Amino acid sequence: MKPTAHTESGKLQSVLIKPVQHAFLDNERIDAEWEMLNYLGRPDLEKAVEEYAVFEQLLRDAGAEVHVLPPDENLTMDSLYCRDAAIITDHGAILCNMGKAARKKEPAAERLAFDRLGIPILGEIQAPGTLEGGDVAWLDRGTLAVGYSYRTNLSGIAQLEQLFRPFGMEILRVDLPHYKGPGDVFHLMSVFSPVAEDLAVVYAPLMPIAFRNELIRRGMRLVEVPDEEFDSMGCNVLALAPRTCLMVEGNPKTRAALEAEGCRVVTYRGEEISIKGGGGPTCLTRPIARGV
């Protein structure tokens, strides 16, 4: 399979992660940060390490080459959610400029990882632009959907368009709703997770109508997450391969709907590493290459 970064659902070949012990560091760090960062509850470090070990092993079991970000005392617990700090393209990495002020130092830390991996830097989003990786998702090899949100602003989207222009790639802007306001973590991928070229998990009540209609126009089937499984990360699903899905356990209706579409679903317990911090498996990973 030819590797590419321009898909959300091809077989995962290479991925960057930040293990929970490298992000949370110790109980003193958790005590100092969890409320300030708007976590739903204080993570239990021991349980979080256990949950993450299972999560990481599932990535390795899927055949992915796993690259690990090191501990960094200059970053916060939120660095666990490493998708947000960068976008990977077939032409190099784009370093984001985080919309959440406490996360501003994460892109520079990921640049060091990309340097080690031999991934060139295509560009960097500069202030006043903001852009976070949770707001971007590939629809096809040449089209990137980008959420206009409290974390990703118009200047950031315009800079991304400029970086993409030489390669003929299209940006599809998706205007996201206010929902719980600027203090909440709400990205495009909070309501949209592609799991195959023609299948995506969505939360319809918070989807912009124009975006939903565009997905349907493209022939994409939509697995609808019920209201009671939205807060438990039912809509945050990572494709390990087409129709092979990794999700937080405790979302039986969404799982059954995926299985009815011919998907294989594997789960992990994510109370400490996902639900409390508002970041499911797509947030916990920065895919580098997938096979198509």
Q: Strand ranges (DSSP E) for the chain?
A: 3-4, 11-17, 65-68, 86-89, 92-95, 121-124, 136-140, 143-148, 170-175, 192-196, 199-202, 221-224, 238-241, 244-248, 264-268, 285-291
Does pTM surpass 0.95?
Answer: yes
Q: What integer pLDDT is reported at residue 292 of this predicted model?
A: 85
Q: pLDDT of 32-85, one tens digit each?
A: 999 999 999 999 999 999 999 999 999 999 999 999 999 999 999 999 999 999
Q: pLDDT of 255-287, one tens digit each?
A: 999 999 999 999 999 999 999 999 999 999 999
Distance CA 70, CA 54 (A): 19
Q: What domain range includes position 254?
A: 3-291
Domain tally, the chain: 1
Q: pLDDT of 133-182, one tens digit each?
A: 999 999 999 999 999 999 999 999 999 999 999 999 999 999 999 999 99
Sign of dihedral through CA atoms 113, 166, 104, 53? Answer: negative
Distance CA 94, CA 143 (A): 16
The CATH number that applies at residue 141 is: 3.75.10.10
Q: pLDDT of 195-243, one tens digit each?
A: 999 999 999 999 999 999 999 999 999 999 999 999 999 999 999 999 9
